Amino acid sequence: MLTSLELDPQKLPRHVAIIMDGNGRWAQSRGLMRLMGHKAGVDTVIRTVRAADEIGISVLTLYAFSSENWKRPASEVSGLMTLLKSYLESELASMLENNIRLRCIGRMDKLPREVRETLQASIEKTSINTGLVLNLALSYGSRDEVVGAVKEIAELCVAGKLPVEQITEETISAHLYTAGLPDPDLIVRTGGEFRLSNFLLWQASYAEILVTEVHWPDFTREDFISAIATFQTRQRRFGRTGDQVSDKT
Q: Which of 58, 69, 82, 220 binds ligand IPE (CB under 6 A)?
A: 69
Which span (61-69, 95-103, 164-172, 201-209) binds ligand IPE, by CB under 6 A?
61-69
DSSP labels for 38-71? HHHHHHHHHHHHHHHHHHT-SEEEEEEEEGGGGG
Site string for ligand IPE, 126-145 (x = CB under 6 A): --------------------
Q: How far is the CB of 189 from ligand IPE (least distance, A)?
A: 8
* Residue 217 binds Mg ion (CB under 5 A): no
**C-alpha 132: how far from chain center:** 13
Q: 172: which residues sit within 8 A by CB, 6+ positions away?
A: 146, 149, 153, 202
Which span (63-71, 88-96, 104-112, 151-159) binds ligand IPE, by CB under 6 A?
63-71
Q: How far is the CB of 184 from ligand IPE (least distance, A)?
A: 15
25 binds, among Mg ion, ligand IPE, none (CB under 5 to 8 A by kind): ligand IPE
Q: Which of 7, 21, 103, 106 binds ligand IPE (CB under 6 A)?
A: 21
Secondary structure (H, E, C), 123-179: HHHCCCCCCCEEEEEEEECHHHHHHHHHHHHHHHHHCCCCCHHHCCHHHHHHCCCCC
SS3 211: strand
From CA 105, how far away is CA 148, in angstroms rounded?
12
Q: Which of 13, 24, 141, 217 binds ligand IPE (CB under 6 A)?
A: 24
Residues annotated as catalytic are: 21, 69
Q: How far is the CB of 29 from ligand IPE (least distance, A)?
A: 9
Residues 9, 21, 183, CA angle at the centre, nearest 5°?
A: 45
Q: Which of 44, 48, 61, 66 binds ligand IPE (CB under 6 A)?
A: 66
SS3 18: strand
Q: Which of 7, 16, 57, 63 binds ligand IPE (CB under 6 A)?
A: 63
